Amino acid sequence: MSLKIIVLAKQVPDTRNVGSDAMTPEGTVNRSALPAIFNPEDMNALEQALRLKDQFPGSTVHVLTMGPARATEVIREGLYRGADGGYLLSDRAFAGADTLATSYALATAIRKIGIPDIVIGGRQAIDGDTAQVGPQVAQKLDLNQITYVNSIDEVKDGLITVTRHIDGGVEKVQAPLPILLTVNGDAAPCRPQNAKLVMKYKRATAPMERTEDMPYAEEYEKKPYLTVTQWTVADIDGDYNQCGLAGSPTKVKAVQNIAFKAKESKTLTGSDEDINGLVQELLNEKIIG
Amino acid sequence: MANYYTDHPEIGFHLNHPEMKRVVDLREKDYADKDKYDYAPVDFEDAMENYRRVLEITGDVAANIIEPNSESVDLEGPHLENGRMIYASKTFENIEATKKAGLWGVSMPRRYGGLNLPNAVFSMLSEVISAADAGFQNIWSLQSCIDTLYEFGSEEQRQEFIPRVCQGESMSMDLTEPDAGSDLQRVMLKATRDEENDCWRLNGVKRFITNGDSDIHLVLARSEEGTTDGRGLSMFIYDKRDGGVDVRHIEHKLGIHGSPTCELTYKNAKAQLCGSTRMGLIKYVMALMNGARLGIAAQSVGLSQEAYNEALSYANDRQQFGQKIINFPAVYDMLSRMKAKLDAGRSLLYQTARYVDIYKCLEDIQRDRSLTAEEKQEMKKYQRLADAFTPVAKGMNSEYANQNAYDAVSVHGGSGFIMEYKSQRLMRDARIFSIYEGTTQLQVVAAARYISNGTYLNIIKEMLERNVSEELRPLHAHVEEMVAQYEESLARVKEAADQEMQDFLARRLYDMTAEIIMSLLILDDATRCPELFEKSANVYVRMAEENVAGKAAYIKNFTSETLNNFRS
């Protein structure tokens, strides 16, 4: 059995290393001050996809992303770890997309590629934190979906069994293929880059990244795998009204800067009485239990 | 994110050494693989880019997987189960990560699935992995045994074993026995011909075998019945899939706990002869050992770097008497010496690795076509340099690693003696470096003939002619003085014509040789890159001067009669 897998991945500003210049005075993210990285939970999703490829030889993994030219880096990172190829959705008309327009673009691109056995992505991106794009893509493609996946336990006879996170524990669920999965950050970390694949794909680029004076330009003729597929709205037969800003009903009304302040504090001694009191309080508040 | 390669630009500096052009051109045989393999470089710059990338991957795996696992591996260690060695649990994670990263069989030609990395780059990977966990570096770097199989094995053997190593199967070299340590001529493990099954059978015991339960073993055994010396020994390949070798015991060691040291019993174990009979020790094991010695030099440099980093960060952090302890002369004296030994030792390591590369590459080219007269001469020259420099690089770097780990503990004060801090582990791990693959005392023996025949002196004189920057001229003058003292000491020892006295003083001459060579190397580095090396050049040359002058005085006042005071 071989599987066709599409990994949804996003290039995001690294909000984990935020400095004082991370926000503009207008309250939007200052993207130039933050390094662009592969969204962490999408990396977990990529690992799950690559494990299936290891398990079922002949399977293919493609990375699908939307963004400016530099977002091709996400596709290269996938290629360096074992992905077979990637698609970059890049067009001015895609810009400013909220989750609805994003999921429209991704779903339309997936239809263009052909519905695979598995679409898999991270639960959410660290810039927007909505966790909406995966489920919306599933809805638009009329696919089953399983969210909060920790591990894929088995794929057999057209059925997939996964362990997923629920409140207070995990559960095992099974569903028929094709399916869309979203993966948690506590799933297995992604494997390192592979030396041979990096050597092979280090000059893989989307045409829009290339410049006239690029060294080794003649390589692109000879080695088709060095060209990353790059699609505009028109290339995926998309509806301009459903893409980018035009297709985004979400409008940011206002952004507030919040400074966290400590509210109240209690000082406890190490006595049994104080500790029992604290445990009781945490139980009552359902913080533990 | 931390990266053990990019965090240390000194390694990148050596990667970009001008001599690398010759190394890479030879290694890539004019880039003949470029149309055959999609990951082969198309030219020199492309090859260098590939090396940088593989070093970045290794730096990432080292810093973010191997190092975080190192404490747990040190505490858990491997264990024995029904005659099999089971690694510490996190060691499996390290192996898996290095496999996924494609870091196995890296020195092998692409036709067997390798990356065709030169030795200089392999040594850099080795260094980076050792900085994260010296014990794991043993398991990983033993893959270089495959170089010996490639060199001396048949084409069938190459095709059978090399692709497996490229997939991550591990190796070991089974040499030592209870009565054959430094003196390998005493090896007794018996190899007998099994004509019926057209193979050899091995019977006996090996001891102190690093990674002894590996997948593919190179075994030194006595194939010639009735012989008692090195000429009766041959080299065999034992494949674990065939069975017949069990682990009887795993040693409890002072350090490198993650690296399993095994006692093995061979019970009629099936094996293949590698190369010709009788050449096992005198030719193949010598090649194996030279590779392994360079591996230990790299392991030492990695640990030296980690010891320096630990000490530096603690000295910057720890406050006493109202200030950071790094501000005290006694502390920065230690730290600057650590860095100087690290920088000078590393330079010696990569100089040696490039020598090895040039001659080994020419030797490999010779397998396909005959060399031109110039090439033959070049090969001879670099082979001699490689043979001369390897014992110096191994001996000095292993001693420096010990000194740096000791100083790292000192910088930590009382905390250095506490098991929760890393310095103590570095000190325990480093202790074996100056013992295995030939003790420092045996490195001195290996270097002695090059001291007396003037090989080192000639290269020193050649190096003295190189240009140094204006700022470094005064230091250069100090080195000239050292060379004069060195020549005088050489002449004195020679004059005495007393073999025992020569043996006794050899260590001093060896140290002088090494310190002068490293002074010249660090001056060269500081000339090309003062930002990285000017301080170390100053510190190192002064330190060398202090030592060389002391040794010159020692030798000057030494006579044959003086020896009587030392004999027991």
Query: Are B54 and A197 inside 8 Å of each other by CB?
Result: no
**Of A135, A133, A91, which Cα lies nearest the Cα of A232?**
A91
Chain A hits for B61, Cβ within 8 Å: 192
- Residue B133 DSSP symbol: -
Mean pLDDT computed over A152-165: 96
Range of B191's domain?
171-281
Spatial separation of the C-alpha atoms in residues B10 and A238, rounded to whole Å: 52
Q: What is the pLDDT of residues A27-73, one digit of tens each?
A: 666 777 788 999 999 999 999 999 999 999 999 999 999 999 999 99
Same domain, B200 and B229: yes
Query: Are B101 and A223 inside 8 Å of each other by CB?
Result: no
Note the pLDDT of residue A287: 83
Query: Are A195 and B115 inside 8 Å of each other by CB?
Result: yes
Strands A4-8 and A118-122: parallel
Chain A hits for B4, Cβ within 8 Å: none
Q: Quick count: other Cβ atoms within 10 Å of Cβ B93? A: 17
User: Does residue B106 sit at the A interface (CB-CB below 8 Å)?
Assistant: yes
User: Does residue B57 sit at the A interface (CB-CB below 8 Å)?
Assistant: yes
Q: Look at residue B298 and tell me if it is in a domain.
A: yes
Spatial separation of the C-alpha atoms in residues B293 and B173, rounded to whole Å: 13
Identify whether the C-beta of residue A170 lies closer than 8 Å to the C-beta of residue A33. Answer: no
Q: What is the pLDDT of residues B225-260, one digit of tens each?
A: 999 999 999 999 999 999 999 999 999 999 999 999
CATH of the domain at B539: 1.20.120.470
Tell which of A77, A81, A193, A199 to mutate to test the B interface (max B CBs under 10 Å): A199
Same domain, B27 and B140: yes
Q: What is the pLDDT of residues A213-260, one digit of tens each?
A: 888 988 999 999 999 999 999 999 999 999 999 999 988 787 777 777
Q: What is the pLDDT of residues A91-129, one digit of tens each?
A: 999 998 999 999 999 999 999 999 999 999 999 998 888
3 state DSSP class of A129: coil
Q: What is the DSSP string of B389-438?
A: HHHHHHHHHHHHHHHHHHHHHHHTGGGGGSTTSHHHHHHHHHTTTTTTTS
Between A278 and B200, where is the model more confident? B200
3 state DSSP class of B128: helix
| Residue B78 confidence class, pLDDT cut points 50, 70, 90 | very high
Spatial separation of the C-alpha atoms in residues A175 and B521, rounded to whole Å: 65
Spatial separation of the C-alpha atoms in residues B467 and B156, rounded to whole Å: 50
Same domain, B117 and B159: yes
Identify whether the C-beta of residue B148 lies closer than 8 Å to the C-beta of residue B294. Answer: no
Which of A193, A219, A225 is nearest residue B57 as measured by Cβ atoms?
A193
Q: Look at residue B494 and tell me if it is in a domain.
A: yes
Which of A193, A202, A225 is nearest residue B49 as measured by Cβ atoms?
A202
Spatial separation of the C-alpha atoms in residues A219 and A222, rounded to whole Å: 5
Note the pLDDT of residue B399: 98
Query: Are B38 and A192 inside 8 Å of each other by CB?
Result: no
Q: How far away is chain A from the Cα of B63, in angstroms, using its nearest Cα?
A: 12
Same domain, B108 and B147: yes
Query: Are A199 and B65 inside 8 Å of each other by CB?
Result: no
Query: Are B57 and A198 inside 8 Å of each other by CB?
Result: yes
List A172's β-bridge partners, or say none. Answer: A163
What are the tokens at B104? 């196995």
Q: How far away is chain B from the Cα of A114, in angstroms, using its nearest Cα?
A: 28
Q: What is the pLDDT of residues B7-34, one digit of tens each?
A: 999 999 999 999 999 999 999 999 999 9
Which of A194, A199, A223 is nearest residue B100 as measured by Cβ atoms?
A194
What are the tokens at A170? 């995990």
Which of A192, A215, A223 is nearest residue B57 as measured by Cβ atoms?
A192
Chain A hits for B106, Cβ within 8 Å: 195
Q: Where are the beta strands (DSSP E) in chain A?
A: 4-8, 11-13, 36-38, 60-66, 85-89, 118-122, 144-156, 159-166, 169-176, 179-183, 229-231
For the structural domain made of A4-253, what CATH number should be given?
Answer: 3.40.50.620
CATH of the domain at B191: 2.40.110.10
Note the pLDDT of residue A100: 94
- Report the share of chain B in percent with pLDDT over 70: 100
3 state DSSP class of A8: strand
Tell which of B100, B103, B111, B116 to mutate to test the A interface (max A CBs under 10 Å): B100
> How many contacts, defined by CB atoms under 8 Å, are there between A and B?
52
Same domain, B120 and B183: no
- Residue B151 predicted with pLDDT over 70: yes
Tell which of A37, A50, A54, A196 to mutate to test the B interface (max B CBs under 10 Å): A196
Same domain, B377 and B421: yes
**Of B14, A43, B118, which Cα lies nearest the Cα of B5?**
B14
- Residue A152 DSSP symbol: E
**How do the domains of chain A map onto residue ranges?**
4-253
Tell which of B39, B54, B99, B104 to mutate to test the A interface (max A CBs under 10 Å): B39
Of A10-24, A82-96, B157-171, B320-334, the one with minimum mean pLDDT is A10-24
Chain B hits for A227, Cβ within 8 Å: none
- Residue A266 predicted with pLDDT over 90: no
State the average pLDDT for chain B: 97
Strands B84-86 and B79-81: antiparallel
Note the pLDDT of residue A27: 61
Q: Look at residue B256 and tell me if it is in a domain.
A: yes
Which of A192, A199, A219 is nearest residue B39 as measured by Cβ atoms?
A199
User: Does residue B61 sit at the A interface (CB-CB below 8 Å)?
Assistant: yes
Same domain, B415 and B288: yes
Q: Look at residue B435 and tell me if it is in a domain.
A: no
Q: Which residue of B has its CA nearest to A223?
A: B38
3-state SS track over B458-517: HHHHHHHCCCCCHHHHHHHHHHHHHHHHHHHHHHHHHHHCCHHHHHHHHHHHHHHHHHHH
Among B255, B281, B307, identify where a domain stops.
B281
Query: Are A199 and B103 inside 8 Å of each other by CB?
Result: no
Domain count for chain B: 3
| Residue A268 confidence class, pLDDT cut points 50, 70, 90 | confident
Q: How far away is chain A from the Cα of B92, in angstroms, using its nearest Cα?
A: 14
Identify whether the C-beta of residue B94 lies closer than 8 Å to the C-beta of residue B155. Answer: no
Which of A194, A219, A223 is nearest residue B101 as measured by Cβ atoms?
A194
**Of B216, B243, B229, which Cα lies nearest the Cα of B153?**
B216
- Amino acid in the structure at residue B167: Q
Task: Give the burial string for B359-375 (b: 16+ CB within 10 Å, else e).
Answer: bbbbeebeeeeeeeeee
- Residue B93 predicted with pLDDT over 90: yes
Answer left, alpha or beta for residue B244, where phi above 0 means left and psi between -120 and 50 means alpha. Answer: left
- Residue B33 DSSP symbol: G
Note the pLDDT of residue A26: 63
Spatial separation of the C-alpha atoms in residues A11 and A77, rounded to whole Å: 11
Query: Are A192 and B101 inside 8 Å of each other by CB?
Result: yes
ipTM score here?
0.94
Same domain, B479 and B540: yes
Chain B hits for A197, Cβ within 8 Å: 39, 102
Q: How far away is chain B from the Cα of A159, in angstroms, using its nearest Cα?
A: 28
Query: Are A192 and B65 inside 8 Å of each other by CB?
Result: yes
Cβ-proximal residues to A133 (8 Å cutoff; 6+ apart), any chain: A8, A99, A102, A103, A106, A121, A124, A125
> B245 vs A172, A221, B43, B236, CA distance in Å?
43, 53, 46, 13
Same domain, B25 and B100: yes
CATH of the domain at B119: 1.20.140.10
Q: What is the pLDDT of residues B296-322, one digit of tens each?
A: 999 999 999 999 999 999 999 999 999
Q: Look at residue B86 and tell me if it is in a domain.
A: yes
The runs of H, that is alpha helices, within A82-218 are 99-113, 133-141, 195-201
| Residue A88 confidence class, pLDDT cut points 50, 70, 90 | very high
Same domain, B20 and B50: yes
Selected residues 242-271 of chain B with any CB under 8 Å from a CB in chain A: none
Q: Look at residue B408 and tell me if it is in a domain.
A: yes
Same domain, B143 and B182: no
Tell which of A16, A193, A200 to mutate to test the B interface (max B CBs under 10 Å): A193
